[in-house]
Amino acid sequence: MAFLPNQQVPVEPGAESLYDAWLGSIEEELDSPGCDRYELCRRVLMEIYFPDLGDADPASLPQTTQVALAQMDARNITREPEYYADTDPERYERVKPLLWMWEMFDKSALGENVYLGIAFRRILAKRIFRTCGRNFKAFHFVKLSFGYNMDIGDDVVVHRHVLLDDRGGIKLGDRASVSDFANIYSHSHDVVESREIETPQTVIGEGARITYHATVMSGVHVAPNTMVGSFGVVTRDTEPDSIYVGIPARLVKRKPGAAGDNPAE
């Protein structure tokens, strides 16, 4: 098996300076004590989606266009967590426009640009998450619920189309990796009365890998250096330096150098 580390991909100098200036202006505005995050979100999304309609009188436009323009302002939209009784209104109010800007950025032509997208999401993540370590990488279409219950370590990577349900809190340890289409939950419903809800924190340990289409259920602690195989569903805490597969996921192998016998042998 070949060792194939990621390579550096240069961006054309003109584009790089343009991107960095744009990102810098957004970061500078977010750091301003008087920043209106809703207005920033509205302006950025208007410039992305409707750059020619910024000064238009909405009443002069077709009604469908008026509805489309209304979506640029996060004050005009609702997201699922707002309907939950355990949402902290004050904390959510601060992150809602940033969550909406993140989601709408990803749906635009800009979202697929890896260089620009990772940098843009990192700026927002540092102001949405409870804690966010260095070099965080999120690819496009990562879905966050509350956002403010996320704790992210250093060098964490979250790939495409991942659901991070942080209702009860999610912690991703240093160097953790979450692959495409994976789901991590931190709330569960009673099997009889669905309105009875538990919200334990879910923890993904240092160096753990949640691979393609795998699911981690609420309250589970995935131990450091554990790998959850594709389509696996983890319902219980794991052991470190091990590989889990299946539904429900079970221990099948320990990584080379880990203590203990391989249970599959």
Average pLDDT over residues 101-113: 97
**Residue 48: per-residue pLDDT:** 97
Q: Are 200 and 218 in contact (CB under 8 A)?
A: yes
The residue type of 107 is K
On the question of pLDDT at 261 being above 80, the answer is no
**Percent of the chain residues topping a pLDDT of 90:** 88
Residue 185 and residue 187: Cα distance in Å, rounded?
Answer: 6
**Residue 262: per-residue pLDDT:** 59
Q: What is the CA radius of gyration of the chain?
A: 21
**Residue 247: per-residue pLDDT:** 97
Residue 252 and residue 241: Cα distance in Å, rounded?
Answer: 11
Q: Which two tokens stand for residue 93?
A: 């109010």
> Structural domain boundaries of the chain?
17-254
Residues 18-71: tens digit of each pLDDT: 999 999 999 999 999 999 999 999 999 999 999 999 889 989 999 999 999 999
**Residue 110: per-residue pLDDT:** 97
Q: For the domain made up of 17-254, give the CATH fold.
A: UDP N-Acetylglucosamine Acyltransferase; domain 1 (2.160.10)
**Residue 195: per-residue pLDDT:** 87
List the one residue out of 183, 180, 136 whose CA is nearest residue 159: 180
Residues 130-171: tens digit of each pLDDT: 999 999 999 999 999 999 999 999 999 999 999 999 999 999
Q: How confident is the model at residue 8 (pLDDT cuts 50, 70, 90)?
A: confident
